[in-house]
Amino acid sequence: MLLLAFDTASPAVTAAVCEPVGDGVRVRASVSSVDARRHGELLAPGIQEVVERSGAQMADLTHIAVGIGPGPYTGLRVGLATAHALAEALGIACHGVATLDAIAFASGRTTPFVAASDARRKEVFWARYDDALTRVGDIAVDRPADVDTGGLPVIGHGAHLYADVFGQDAAQAEPLYPDAAALGELAVRRLVEGRELPEPLPLYLRRPDAQEPGAPKKVRQWQA
Amino acid sequence: MSNTDLPLILGIESSCDETGVGLVRGCELLSDEVASSVDQHARFGGVVPEVASRAHLEAMTPTVQRALDRAGVKLSDVDAIAVTAGPGLAGALLVGVSAAKAYALALGKPLYGVNHLVGHVAVDQLEHGPLPKPTVALLVSGGHTSLLLVRDLATDVRLLGDTVDDAAGEAYDKVARLLDLPYPGGPPIDRAAREGDPGSIRFPRGKWGDGTYDFSFSGLKTAVARWVEDAERDGRPVPVPDVAAAFQEAVVDVLTRKAVDACREHGVEHMVISGGVAANSRLRALAEERCAAAGIELRVPRPRLCTDNGAMIAALGAEVVAAGLPPSRLDLATDTSLPVNRPLAG
């Protein structure tokens, strides 16, 4: 198994090549940069770079794992469109990993916590975890003040942005963004364990923002 | 005629609400598959960018597969990938460009980020063969209204004029709403107008005779709104066919007049009309009449090729490859306002 992992559902653009080794996972190469406006420009060169640095060719890849969000939609779709087309062209399997799960996994925590990412519009995407590998329930989108943290520590970019609302030090929010090395390691582990991963489909959690128009605006000033 | 010695170009288009994938060799069209999200936008009266972007992501790889199947080729047969890099909706463009980069990377084939507007002109080659040089191109759609001087599709396209406000197709959509006709407004207005008298109401011709090749349709739309409101206030029934015909006449009168003037001024004997509004029957008829009178040869692709599609992007890609231009890099950026004088985005 040689797995290409990447995620674009946060301000970070991150890619890695991973493989199972013994009981563990080896990350052959990884790259990350934070630039919320350039996902479309950075991802493909990033993938090319990690594949080259891992000493492999595109044709050697056997699996793709892609972050399915939730996260800002335009960036999220860069990763998914890339994953779908790569998998189709290479004829290999493509799986999804919730971006928040990758952040939680990278935290390495062994006790309960909450992970929260920035959902924009003064909201966060969030979920509770028993430990780094175990999410409890579904991911939700709420205003920070409405998140029931149960007094647990909160990690992720959402925790950093709203540290005052969550009543904790912003410095304790690490890791802020997903890292493809962690996402890939999580995916390899699950696949080796024979567990199912989500379909590579976007977690939007919100409907498109659009309003049906009313009657056309009048152009004449009506006489009283 | 078989052209198997020419490169096989895969074209991907996602600048607005159509996910288009086409396969082309030279001027030969092998397949042209389109998945449209237009029905999802109808109740909003216009394209909702987020709705369009979501639909592109769902449709992209299945549409590529359909295009390959229809052409009877495999992905590994593709020699180069062309994709719309702009102009268009940012989030929508990014889906197509991301997929195109992934195909290029996986297949080890060159990527060409090309111009949507020039693609609308290039597509005519798939129906009528190589474009005469030079040609004046009138591009009319829901998002664009431009007059171009095309000396070479890959390397020499000049913008002569553009709309200063609404695109022609946008004016059709807005007037259709005023007349309680469905979205998109082009086809229902065209149909209603056939029963109406275009001379019954004289609507203004924006930027008529102003010495430029620019267009304006916002004032026309407001004039129609005033006329309809006045009729309603006075309790007169609105004669939809007459209003539609008079509005349509004002649009196509200015479009064709300025396009013919551009041919005359630049000594050009060939004109192409393309874009979604080129499917309009009155525009075709009046353009044919005026071109014939001016000794200009008019080419209009069939309606299916006039609206957004992937074949037009593949057709331009074939031109760019034939011209020996360098491929785009993998860090190619989308450009929502890519100027028409850059057929290849970079």
Nearest CB to A40: which of B53, B97, B229?
B97
pLDDT of residue A211: 75
Q: How far is A89 from chain B (nearest CA, A)?
A: 6
In the predicted model, what is the mean pLDDT of residues B154-171?
96
Residue B3's pLDDT is what?
A: 57
Residue B343 DSSP label: S
Shortest CA distance to A66 belongs to which of A191, A200, A195, A202? A200
Report the SS3 class of residue B212.
coil
Q: What is the mean pLDDT of chain A?
A: 95
Q: State the pLDDT at residue B53.
A: 97
CB atoms within 10 A of CB B198: 21
- B chain contacts of residue A89, beta-carbon cutoff 8 Å: 75, 102-103, 106-107
Q: Is the pLDDT of residue A223 over 50?
A: no
pLDDT in tens, B116-129: 999 999 999 999 99
B156 appears as a binding residue in the annotation: no
Contact between chains at A211 and B44 (C-beta distance less than 8 A): yes
ipTM, 2 dp: 0.95
Q: Binning pLDDT at 50, 70 and 90, where does residue B219 land? A: very high
**pLDDT-derived band of residue A224, with 50, 70 and 90 as boundaries?**
very low
Shortest distance between the Cα of B52 and any Cα of chain A, in A, equals 10
- Alpha-carbon span B330 to B67, nearest angstrom: 24
Annotated domain spans of chain B: 8-127+305-323, 135-300
For residue A215, what pLDDT band results from cuts at 50, 70 and 90? confident
- Coil, helix or strand at residue B82: strand
- Dump pLDDT digits (tens) for A6-24: 999 999 999 999 999 999 9
- The continuous run of DSSP H or E covering B29 comes out as strand B28-36
The pLDDT of residue B1 is 43
Q: Residue B257 burial by CB count (10 A; 0-12/13-18/19+): exposed, middle or buried?
A: middle
- The beta-carbon neighbor of A86 closest among B51, B57, B106 is B106
Instruction: Measure CB to CB from residue A90 to each of B43, B106, B229 and give the nearest one.
Output: B106
Contact B94 A210 (CB under 8 A): no
CA–CA gap between residue A125 and residue A142 (Å, rounded): 7
Determine the residue of chain B that is closest to A80 in CA distance.
B57
pTM: 0.95
A210 and B105 within 8 Å at the Cβ level: the answer is no
Instruction: Taking residues B59-84, report their average pLDDT.
Output: 98
Residues of B in contact with A213 (CB under 8 A): 44-45, 177
Q: Span B8-127+305-323: which CATH code?
A: 3.30.420.40
Mean pLDDT to the nearest integer, B27-38: 95
How does DSSP assign A38-86, residue by residue?
A: -HHHHHHHHHHHHHHHTT--GGG--EEEEE--SS-HHHHHHHHHHHHHH
- Can you tell me the mean pLDDT for B189-205? 96
Q: In angstroms, rounded to a whole number, what is the distance separating the alpha carbons of residues A213 and A204?
A: 24
pLDDT digits (tens, 9 = 90+) for B242-285: 999 999 999 999 999 999 999 999 999 999 999 999 999 999 99
How far is the alpha carbon of B57 from chain A, nearest alpha carbon, in Å?
A: 6
pLDDT at B201 over 90: yes
Residue B107: its chain A contacts at CB < 8 A? 89
The string of DSSP codes covering A205-222 is -S--------SPPP-SPP
Q: Does the structure show a pLDDT above 90 at A158?
A: yes
The pLDDT value recorded for residue A214 is 74
Q: What pLDDT does residue A221 have? A: 63
Kindly report the nearest CA distance between residue A92 and chain B, in angstroms. Answer: 11
Find how far residue B25's CA is from the centre of its chain: 21
B242 is an annotated ligand-binding site residue: no
Q: Do B102 and A81 lie within an 8 Å CB cutoff?
A: yes
What CATH code would you report for B135-300? 3.30.420.40
* Tens digits of residue pLDDT in A56-99: 999 999 999 999 999 999 999 999 999 999 999 999 999 999 99
Quick check: A93 and A64 in contact, CB under 8 A? Answer: yes
Supply the pLDDT for residue A149.
94
- pLDDT at position A123 over 90: yes
Which residues on chain A are in Cβ contact (under 8 Å) with B81?
Answer: none
Inform me whether the pLDDT recorded for A142 exceeds 50. Answer: yes
Q: Say if the Cβ atoms of B102 and A212 lie within 8 Å.
A: no
User: Measured between CA atoms, how close is B44 to chain A, in angstroms?
Assistant: 5
Which domains are assigned to chain A?
Answer: 3-99+178-192 (3.30.420.40), 101-173 (3.30.420)
pLDDT band at B46 (very low <50, low <70, confident <90, very high): confident
Q: Which of B44, B102, B332 sits opposite A82 (nearest CB)?
A: B102
- Judged by CB atoms closer than 8 Å, whether chains meet at A216 and B48 is answered as no
Q: Which residues contact B298 (CB under 8 A, 6 or more apart)?
A: B271, B272, B273, B287, B288, B291, B292
